[in-house]
Structure 1
Amino acid sequence: MRKGKIVFALVFFALTLNAFAQETRTVRGSVSDGTNPMQDVLIAIQGKQEVRVFTDDEGKYEIEAEVGDLLQYSYTGMKDYLVRVEDVTRYLNLVMIPDVEELDEVTVTRSNRKSQQDLAMEYESNPRILKTAFGLLDADTAPAQVRMLDQSSILPVALCILDVIRNRFPGIRTTGNCQEGGAVIFRGGGSVSNQRVGIFDVDGLVFQQVPVWIDVSQIKRMALISSVAYTARYGAVGSGGVVVINTLSGNPASNQIVDRARLRNNYVKEPVLGETAVANSEPTYMSAFREAGTFEEARTAYYRYESQYKSSPYFYLDAYRYFYQTAGAPEFADQIIRENERMVGSNAAMLKALAYMYEEQGRDKLALEVLKDVFILRPNYSQSYLDLAKAYRKVAAYDKSAAIYARYKYLVDENFLLPSDDFSKIIQHESDNLLQLHASQIGANPRKIVSDPYVQNTTRVVVEWNDTEAEFELQFVNPEGQYHTWKHTYVDNEDRIVEEKMSGYSMEEHIIDNALPGLWEVNVRYHGNKSLTPTYLKVTTYYNYGERDQKEEVYTFKLSLKDNWQKLLSINNPGISRVR
């Protein structure tokens, strides 16, 4: 897009040190309960309580805010909403829902305690689950207090497990050293010469001596349990407490992904719209393009509708995509973008949508230039780094890609970027994959580096969306017709959405069960984005992920039809095929 205007080498790193530009704008919108407008809804800026407004009798409001501000919408009896003001925010229309605590149900139909199969499935994603000699233990529902550490909290500079316990568990006594061994003392009891000492449960194997031989850097998670209610199962030797240690090599979930849908009687029953039904809801200009018999007729239709839609960037993006991919007229498609650059050139969401299309078309150099512009607009968004690193990789600039991953990690460590557990896993998978497949090109150690074997040699689906306010549900239907759903809605996933806004990312990854080869369906139900505009969704499917024969497919979807399940694509596991 703005080629030649910016020297994009070392200069772009300086941009990352800037906070949000203090750009003030008027944010307008309306608030309803889904049926009627809501009056007197309070809209305030977090941290600036003197800045507040209320909706009028038509549910409308406007407020002066700066980019980066967090707008909080509050009304008694309704669930609060927290929305981040971004560089593209102009209109925010909300539907508030009752803040209901479900306390009326008194009939118990089954236990809330999860089965061992449930816990095994959640082990990788839930750091509160431990493997013990008596099966998997959920620390949140255990009949005892469980003091836990995960891998990120265990400093690798510790020489042995005794050092970890001394430094991270106040109130617990240790004796001895890492050369000769020692003991862990949870509590007093007995004579001075016969104190009760803790035992060690390492990946389900019980040791009475301190396992000083464990490599601290290989500990995935560990916990101290002193309650007799739990340790009694170990017999007399457990009376002094238990130190539970799970190592990376003792992962109970192994590398196999388990399809959560298979545990429930959930078969798709609701109708799912196909491409033809979705196309019927498209703007009239798309129908005119498709009905044109020749390129000249389609071009005439474009100019006829341009006067009507000249203020809509969606019109130009739709037209570009149609003429490039359907009409086979790449020169005219590129002309549309060149002549209307102003419509997308300063809007990060529109630029990302254009980059999605370029990637889908295999125009990786053009995608890179667009994502550079996005980075310049959003240097404090975590995903700007991932997008740019992946774009450099696509054009074989592997050293630049690796440098950006390293820069991201540095900025997180220095608190210039806010960390996110979910996003950190995704970017770690991407950077590991770069090192695994292109180590020699970037001068790295060619030894295969895998920080999370959970995703290796799998079918990995990465979903991204250009509008951070988009709410939708994704449905993954396995070859047996069962499904599981991931909900990206404020009602169902509030913590995740707030985290996305604070860290600056809009993507998710899903791993398909290797044990179920065959045709999988991926469906979506779109709920809107608070501005009554479409959202663009990019789906990248990797298969044989991390292997030398790794392949990928990229598809872009425009979501505008709301509250209906519609089919995105079919994935042949292993492999992918687009089903029309």
Structure 2
Amino acid sequence: MIKKILLVLFLIPISALAQINEANNQKTISGFITHNNKPLENVTIFVDKTIRYAVSNEKGFYAIKANPGEVLSYSYVGLDEVKVLIEDVTQTLNINLQLKSSITDIEHDKIVQLGESSFGENASSFKAIKVDPKKLNPNATSLTRALEEKIPDILVRINDYGEEIIYFRGKELNGPAVWEIDDVIFDIPYPIFISEVKELLIINNKEFYPQLPITNPLIKVKTSIDYKKVKDLNYNNYYFIDEDYYSGDAKKYKDIKVKYSFLDKFNKVSKDDELLTIYKNNYTLDKNYTNYHLAVFNHFKNKKVDKSMLIKVLSDFEKFTNNPEGLKAVAYNYQELNEGNRAIEVYKRILRLRPNSKQSFRDLANAFYEQKNYNNFLKSYSFYLQKGLKIDATDIGEIMSSEIVSVYNTDLDEATTNQKIKITNPLKSEESDVRIIMEWNVSEAEFIVELVNPKLERYILKNTYSHNPALIVDQKEKGYHSKEIVINSLNPRNHLLNLTYLGNKQYKPTYFKFTTYYNWGRPNQTKKIEVFEISQKNKKIQLLKINRKNL
């Protein structure tokens, strides 16, 4: 009996200690909740699978304690519930709740790449495929969906009007497929029963069908429809309307102005030494302003000051912060300044802070890659694999695969040949006209990327909670914030990349880094790194113009 009592007494402190340790790991998350740009009172914020909760006040403000890895749920009657996974860097979460939608999401869940970003890869090579209509799924919701089930090279997208648009994998920027139904050309097929299809030919190569006046892929359909008996069929409804094409509504990045009051003192000064003096004299007082260092850096960069001054500001921020998101923005800017070795040291520091983040390893490896230090590049990934992390079919996995394959094809140093890392994707593109890596420093950042081909046809990628919440959760759980865009064959005229920023639930802007490789995987490969600070929401901004003059 005494032994049992002692055992119970012994276990009590352990249980209490576990609770204390859990409490010590908790951090306070706070922010404001709004609806239609107005504060929302009495929103309930729960920590999932616990009894911890908070309620927003009349100003919409709330504060709650949570552990990294836990999920906060924001709920209010009549509005869509929002769930947010807490990370080690999470502090501020400003939430905008939306009305519940009564419309079922048409977009299907069949996504080959979770981030849907590796288009341009594994381009469809067939010239034409004849499809037996009898082998199509008679229960498919549309002819478009039946073809998607049958042909792996077909990718279906839903436009803003709920219409199903077909692209061919790897050739998305060539534009969507067009339809020839009973010898009449349409952009979008009018409703056809699968039982009415008599012949079906999918043409992927203009050489196979030279009389076609367009370069898009073609889906040629013969039907048994008796058009004399068809009533109320308005053929004009089956063509793209103006909204399906780029209308030139993106503002250029250089025309987007962001004002910070602490920069006013620099406005009337142009000489480098005077700017530096003002910066040093006011540093102690101003350094605690939100986004101070990076705002000063961008201001100086726009004034085209000496590079040493830019490095001074970034170096001061390195010493000031221990936040991985801020440090990542520093590293991005070092890389844009061609200060690769400085970037390596920052990425090493981020890896120490976030040792289980896939992006931390990739960023360090890529920094070595940029310096052509292939030995340390492969060592970084060897260590990554030793930790039990995998190179999988996520956005970051595709990026890692591309760069590992590139090193094996580029590096002739025999010292690295024994460090083999197996890439399971045998179709991985080894070369292309253009490869773009898009990265951002804040995991909560939401945005829409619009790629425009020379025919002004738009192709849209959405990185948002509302479009694909599973993607955002996967990014945060595995720790990656990047996308890969490959253009195998670049058109002589301009391709545009526009971005609409939707926010990041913080008061700080998000920093986006775009690395554009021309002649990727070829001896004449070149690159250009551009970093953008973006804080204005719901404005379409033109960031990149891509053309053949750089090939």
State the TM bucket, normalised to the shorter chain: 0.5 to 0.7
Cα distance in structure 1, aligned partners of 2:488 and 2:530: 21
Matched, 1:333 2:306: no
Matched, 1:563 2:541: no
Would the aligned equivalents of 2:47 and 2:70 in 1 still touch at CA under 8 Å? Answer: yes
Deviations 1:104-125 (A, max 9, x none): 99xxxxxx99xxxxxxx99979
> Residue type matched to 2:365 in 1?
A
Give the match for residue 70 of structure 2. 69
1:113-124 equivalence runs, <5 A: none
Would the aligned equivalents of 1:412 and 1:418 in 2 still touch at CA under 8 Å? Answer: no
Give the match for residue 143 of structure 2. none
Give the match for residue 405 of structure 2. 432
Give the match for residue 522 of structure 1. 497
| Higher mean displacement: 76-85 or 557-566 | 76-85
Deviation at 1:542, TM superposition (A): 1.1
User: CA distance change for structure 1 residues 284 and 39 in 2, over 3 Å: closer, same or farther?
Assistant: closer
User: CA distance change for structure 1 residues 365 and 448 in 2, over 3 Å: closer, same or farther?
Assistant: closer
Deviation at 1:530, TM superposition (A): 0.3
TM-score, normalised by the number of residues in structure 2? 0.68
Give the match for residue 340 of structure 2. 364
> Residue type matched to 1:34 in 2?
N
Matched, 1:293 2:295: no
Deviations 1:173-222 (A, max 9, x none): xxxxxxxxxxxxxxxxxxxxxxxxxxxxxxxxxxxxxxxxxxxxxxxxxx
Give the match for residue 548 of structure 1. 523
TM-score, normalised by the number of residues in structure 1? 0.65
5+ residue gaps, structure 2, are 1-21, 109-115, 141-166, 180-242
| Higher mean displacement: 64-73 or 503-512 | 64-73
> Residue type matched to 1:330 in 2?
K
Would the aligned equivalents of 2:117 and 2:483 in 1 still touch at CA under 8 Å? Answer: no
Cα distance in structure 2, aligned partners of 1:516 and 1:360: 26
User: CA distance change for structure 1 residues 123 and 559 in 2, over 3 Å: closer, same or farther?
Assistant: closer
User: CA distance change for structure 1 residues 474 and 400 in 2, over 3 Å: closer, same or farther?
Assistant: same
| Higher mean displacement: 37-46 or 547-556 | 37-46
1:435-454 equivalence runs, <5 A: 435-444=408-417, 451-454=426-429
User: CA distance change for structure 1 residues 33 and 441 in 2, over 3 Å: closer, same or farther?
Assistant: farther
Cα distance in structure 2, aligned partners of 1:268 and 1:101: 29
Give the match for residue 15 of structure 2. none
Deviation at 1:293, TM superposition (A): 2.8
Q: For residue 543 of structure 1, give the secondary structure of its aligned residue in structure 2.
A: strand
Q: How many equivalent residue pairs?
A: 427
> Residue type matched to 1:452 in 2?
L
Give the match for residue 32 of structure 1. 34
User: CA distance change for structure 1 residues 324 and 277 in 2, over 3 Å: closer, same or farther?
Assistant: closer
Q: For residue 57 of structure 2, give the secondary structure of its aligned residue in structure 1.
A: coil
Cα distance in structure 1, aligned partners of 2:104 and 2:399: 37
Cα distance in structure 2, aligned partners of 1:448 and 1:39: 53
1:75-154 equivalence runs, <5 A: 75-102=76-103, 142-143=137-138
Give the match for residue 160 of structure 1. none
Q: Percent identity?
A: 26
Would the aligned equivalents of 1:28 and 1:91 in 2 still touch at CA under 8 Å? Answer: yes
User: CA distance change for structure 1 residues 122 and 292 in 2, over 3 Å: closer, same or farther?
Assistant: closer
Q: 1:405 aligns with which of 376, 381, 386?
A: 381
> Residue type matched to 1:501 in 2?
K
- Aligned Cα RMSD in Å? 4.0
> Residue type matched to 2:407 in 1?
L
Q: For residue 492 of structure 1, give the secondary structure of its aligned residue in structure 2.
A: coil
Give the match for residue 312 of structure 1. 289
Q: For residue 518 of structure 1, give the secondary structure of its aligned residue in structure 2.
A: coil
Q: For residue 521 of structure 1, give the secondary structure of its aligned residue in structure 2.
A: strand
Matched, 1:386 2:387: no
Deviation at 1:55, TM superposition (A): 2.1
User: CA distance change for structure 1 residues 456 and 357 in 2, over 3 Å: closer, same or farther?
Assistant: same
Deviation at 1:324, TM superposition (A): 6.0
Would the aligned equivalents of 2:434 and 2:490 in 1 still touch at CA under 8 Å? Answer: no
Deviation at 1:406, TM superposition (A): 3.0
Q: For residue 458 of structure 1, give the secondary structure of its aligned residue in structure 2.
A: strand
User: CA distance change for structure 1 residues 480 and 452 in 2, over 3 Å: closer, same or farther?
Assistant: same
Would the aligned equivalents of 1:43 and 1:52 in 2 still touch at CA under 8 Å? Answer: yes
Deviation at 1:374, TM superposition (A): 0.5
Give the match for residue 273 of structure 1. 251
Would the aligned equivalents of 1:255 and 1:456 in 2 still touch at CA under 8 Å? Answer: no
Cα distance in structure 2, aligned partners of 1:266 and 1:254: 20
1:157-306 equivalence runs, <5 A: 258-260=173-175, 266-269=244-247, 271-279=249-257, 281-286=258-263, 289=266, 291-303=268-280, 306=283
5+ residue gaps, structure 1, are 1-19, 106-111, 114-120, 146-251
Cα distance in structure 2, aligned partners of 1:432 and 1:21: 45
Deviations 1:134-174 (A, max 9, x none): 75799xx94489xxxxxxxxxxxxxxxxxxxxxxxxxxxxx
Deviation at 1:527, TM superposition (A): 1.5
Cα distance in structure 2, aligned partners of 1:257 and 1:104: 23
Give the match for residue 149 of structure 1. none
Q: 2:453 aligns with which of 478, 495, 514?
A: 478
Would the aligned equivalents of 1:418 and 1:503 in 2 still touch at CA under 8 Å? Answer: no
Would the aligned equivalents of 1:436 and 1:446 in 2 still touch at CA under 8 Å? Answer: no
> Residue type matched to 2:339 in 1?
R
Q: For residue 50 of structure 1, give the secondary structure of its aligned residue in structure 2.
A: coil
Give the match for residue 221 of structure 2. none
